[in-house]
Amino acid sequence: MNKHLKQLIDLAEVDKKIDAFEPQIEEANYNYEVALAKTKSIESDIENLNNEIKEEDLKKAKNELHLAELSQKLEENTKKSSEVKTEREMKSLQLEEEIAKEQVTFANEEIARLEKIIDAKKEQIELAKKSLEELTEKLVSVKADVDEKLASINEERQKVFVEKEKLLAQVNQKGLAFYQKIRRWAKNSTVVPVEDQACMGCHMIISDKIYADVIKAEDITTCPHCGRILYMKAAEE
């Protein structure tokens, strides 16, 4: 077989191996990213709940302020009632007092209702914090697991890189440029075998003449249909 063709076949194999590491790395990272995203989501839940509590607290404070105003008013009414002269004034004062008392009841109910909401939200926060704690603990072990996997993948990858460096030192520049130009679009099917006289890149039948060239392997032959580099997988069959 032509030396340059052999080198390109080997280079294609090495490039394929290098590309195969990517999904492995992604898969290793995936578990950690899922756990991390969960943590982030709980953290934002807690933040939202805290903001909601602040809003409810504000509403509660408004009601408390109203309550203070009402009690002041009721106090004033008591003072005034000792000074009333006519029955009309008395009735008007009584009406005012009734309304104020109703408002007091309403404000108290409203405060009780808001406190219930606040308590429920605080409980939710406690639960969220607990699961966050558990998750953070788990995250440490997930991270250690991922790091270990990545380290072993990296070690393997380093070996393949060394293999590629060796090949690149041998391969001739013209052949390499040719290979890289095809690889830009053909990716891992830059160098493909011929099976049943068909290019395994585009699956089109090649002519007898080109088929014979591929079998002889005296030169680098490309598929007339797609332009990929062709070779025979003779040794394995």
Contacts with Zn ion by CB under 5 A lie at 199, 201-202, 223, 225-226
**Rounded-to-integer distance, Cα 191 and Cα 57, Å:** 70
- Alpha helices (runs of H) in the chain, residue ranges in sequence order: 3-81, 87-170, 173-186, 208-216
d(CA 225, CA 129): 62
Given the complex with Zn ion, which of 136 and 207 has the nearer CB atom? 207
Residue of 119, 124, 123, 125 whose CA lies nearest to 56? 119
Closest distance of CB 1 from Zn ion, Å: 20
Nearest-approach distance from CB 188 to Zn ion, in angstroms: 14
**Minimum Å distance from CB 227 to Zn ion?**
7
In the bound state with Zn ion, the residue whose beta carbon lies nearer, of 38 and 225, is 225
CB of 209 to Zn ion, least distance (A): 15
Judged by beta carbon, residue 70 or residue 223, the one nearer Zn ion is 223
DSSP letters spanning 98-156: HHHHHHHHHHHHHHHHHHHHHHHHHHHHHHHHHHHHHHHHHHHHHHHHHHHHHHHHHHH
Nearer to Zn ion, 167 or 198 (CB): 198
